[in-house]
Amino acid sequence: MAVRMRLMRMGAKKRAFYRIVVADARAPRDGKFIEIIGTYDPHKDGAAGVTIDKEKALSWLQKGVQPTEPVVRILKWTGVWDEFQTSKQSKKA
C-alpha cells in the first residue's frame, strides 16, 4: 500500500483551508485518510497559518511516507523537513 502525506481541502467556496493528512495514494483527495497531522490556512501569511504535530510528522516520514510537493514546502516552513533530513544523515553515519 502506497502511503502519501498530502493536503485535504476543507472550508467554504473561496475560503479554503487544508488539513495535512496521511492517506493511501489511491484514496480520493477529500476521501478516506489514515491520520490528520496538521492544518494549513493559505489566507494567513507563511508559517503563521500552519499548525503541525512534529512528532507525528517525523514518525510518518521515518516510516517511509512520501509527501507531496506542497507538503514538503510546508514542512520546510515549520522546520520538520530539516529535522528529518538531519536524522536521516545521522543514521547513515
pTM, whole model, 2 decimals?
0.87
List the chain pLDDT tens, one digit each, 93 residues. 699 999 999 999 999 999 999 999 888 888 889 999 999 999 988 778 899 999 999 999 999 999 999 999 999 999 999 999 998 888 776
Q: Give the three-state DSSP class for 61.
A: helix
- Sheet strands side by side (includes 66-67): 50-52, 35-40, 15-24, 3-12, 66-67
- Show the CA angle centred on residue 54, arms to residues 42 and 10, nearest 5°: 35
Domains of the chain in start order, with CATH, are 3-92 (3.30.1320.10)
